[in-house]
Amino acid sequence: MISIDRFLSDEQDPKAVEKVIGKLNDLLTSGEELLYLAVQKKPAVNLLPDSIAISNKRIFYCEPGNLGLTMNFKDISWKNIKEVSFKEEFFGSKFICVPQHGENIVTEFIPKIQARKLHQAANEQLEAFKELTRQQKLEENRASASSINVPQTPQSTFETPIEIEEAVVIPQVQLEEPEDETTLKLRKLKTLYDKQLITQEEYESKKANILDSL
């Protein structure tokens, strides 16, 4: 059960706080904590004041109904809130919540000190939610960037144009010089011998004669 003592620091109506806290205790979700509670103080009759509660997840608007026998709760989460503000007037202050969509939610006759602290607590939670959202987006962007496969450029066997030029093999054309008469005779003689048109003795003899003529 939530203790009401810490919500009576700025002259909040104890009976109103007790009723609201008793109901809110059943509405809080896991990990949700009430941070501040402001109670309306009307200038004339203040029997059924409205209350505004700030938690780390949302703003609660608490309105008594059926002559105080029931309590109506409306809530708006921080992701759906654009900004909050307050305006001091002669009888207390107006607390203004600007949602992302729809009309502004205005609550009058909030005691000035409670309106200031209500605004401070709401702004702190709103900024904390915006920072958390920003961090989540950064993490999502990093995760998306790391999942993209950047195609690797295949490395060429040759790292520089100079190496490519050096690696190119240029076929060399060998120009044959015309055979002289002696070489031609020896070639023909060898052909005759290979075709067994002359004997080895004849081949050796004619070869010796050709070489002697040089």
Domain edges within the chain: 5-137, 180-212
Q: In a 3-state reduction of DSSP, which class is residue 26?
A: coil
If you search the block for the tokens 């015309």, which residue do you land on?
178
Asked whether 75 and 63 are in contact (CB, 8 A), the reply is no
* Cβ count near 121 (within 10 Å): 21
Residue 6's Cα: distance from chain center in Å?
Answer: 40
If you search the block for the tokens 């939670």, which residue do you land on?
125
Higher pLDDT, 124 or 207: 124
Confidence of residue 153 (pLDDT cuts 50, 70, 90): low
Is 149's pLDDT higher than 80?
no
Is 194's pLDDT higher than 50?
yes
| Cα distance between residue 154 and residue 26, in whole Å | 64
Buried b / exposed e along 88-98 (16+ C-beta atoms within 10 A): eeeebbbbbbe
Residues 118, 122, 127, CA angle at the centre, nearest 5°? Answer: 150
Element (H, E) at 114: helix 112-147
- Which DSSP symbol is given to 79? G
Is 174's pLDDT higher than 80?
no
Give the relative orientation of helices 181-194 and 200-212 as an angle to the nearest 10 degrees. 180
Give the CA radius of gyration of the chain.
Answer: 51
Confidence of residue 164 (pLDDT cuts 50, 70, 90): very low
| Cα distance between residue 119 and residue 88, in whole Å | 12
Side-chain-facing half-sphere of 21: CA atoms under 13 Å: 22
Asked whether 9 and 113 are in contact (CB, 8 A), the reply is no
Lowest mean pLDDT across 35-44, 134-143, 190-199? 190-199
Single pTM value for the model: 0.64
Q: What is the mean pLDDT of residues 71-90?
A: 94
Confidence of residue 57 (pLDDT cuts 50, 70, 90): very high
The CATH-assigned architecture of domain 5-137 is Roll (2.30)
| Cα distance between residue 38 and residue 8, in whole Å | 9
